[in-house]
Amino acid sequence: MQARIALVTGGTGGIGTSIVKRLHDMGHRVATNFRDEARGRAWQASMRDAGYDITLALGDVSSAEQGEAMVAEVERQLGPVDILINNAGITRDSTFHKMTPQQWNDVISTNLNSCFNVTRPVIEGMRQRKWGRIVQISSINGQKGQYGQANYAAAKAGMHGFTISLAQENARFGITVNTVSPGYIGTDMVMAVPEDIREKIVAQIPTGRLGTPEEIAYAVSFFIPEEAGWITGANLSANGGQYMGW
C-alpha cells in the first residue's frame, strides 16, 4: 500500500500507542497529539528508542481551535492527513443522579465533540484528494449502556451516528468512515477500576480475559488498506464476545 499520513488522537495512551505502532509498521507516517510537552516528548523518545519515528503536535481535542491548530501543525510537518483515528477519550464515572455538569461536559467534549473538532479540519482535503480513512474508537458501553457511565455511553453511542452520517456524505469521495467498539482492554483506564469490580467484568467476557491494545490496533488496521475501500459505515466489535448485538 502507498505510504500515507496518519493522525491518531490520544496516541500516547494505552490503545493509541498500539495503533500508532501498527500504522507505522504498515509503512505510514504517523502523528499524534500531546497536551503536556514533557510527557509528550518523553513518550516520543521512548518510541524512537523502539524504532518508531512519530511526529507530535500540541492539542486538546475537546477544543475546536486546538483541534484545528493541531491538524495544521501535523500537515505543516508531514503533509495532508489521509488517515484519521479519533481515539482520544476519558471516563468520569458517576451514577446519573449524582453526575455533575462538569463530568457530563468533560466526557462529551473529549469523546464526542473531539470527532467534530479534529475531523472537520481534515475532511475537505480528503474530499479534494478523493481518498481518506476515518476510524472512531467507540466502546462496547456505547452499544449496551453501562451503570455509572451515562455520559460515556451517550458520547460513545453518538460516535456511531457520526460515523454512519459521515460515511454517507463522503463515500463518493473515496473516503471510508468506520467505528471500532472495543470491549474491556487492559490499559490504565481499565486497570484503574478496583480489582474486585474488574474480576466481575472479566467473568462476563466469554474469552475469560481482558483484551490487549494490540488486538484493537489490529481491528483498526483492517479498515485502512485499499482493499477495505468498500467497507464504510461499519462497526467492528472487538470485545472477546461480551456483546454480540451490532
Residues that bind ligand NDP (CB under 6 A): 9-10, 12-16, 33, 35-36, 60-62, 87-90, 110-111, 137, 139, 182, 184-185, 187-190
**Nearest CB to ligand NDP, comparing residues 33 and 176:** 33
Q: What minimum distance in Å lies between the beta carbon of 87 and ligand NDP?
A: 5
Compute the least distance from the CB of residue 63 to ligand NDP, in Å. Answer: 8
Active site residue 184: no
Q: Which one is catalytic: 52, 147, 152, 243?
A: 152
- 10 Å CB burial of residue 3 (0-12, 13-18, 19+) is exposed
Return the number of the residue (131 or 237) whose C-beta is nearest ligand NDP. 237
Terminal alpha carbon distance of the chain: 30
Supply the minimum distance, in Å, between the C-beta of residue 195 and ligand NDP: 15
Residue 157 neighbours by CB distance under 10 Å: 19
Nearest by Cα to 47 from 10, 11, 9: 11
Q: 13 vs 158, which CB is nearer to ligand NDP?
A: 13
Beta carbons of 31 and 57 less than 8 angstroms apart: yes
Looking at the Cβ atoms of 10 and 132, the one nearer to ligand NDP is 10
Do the beta carbons of residue 57 and residue 12 sit within 8 Å?
no
What is the nearest approach in angstroms of ligand NDP to the Cβ of residue 181? 7
In the numeric block, the cell 509498521 is attached to 25
Q: Which residues contact 234 (CB under 8 A, 6 or more apart)?
A: 178, 179, 223
* Residues with catalytic roles: 152
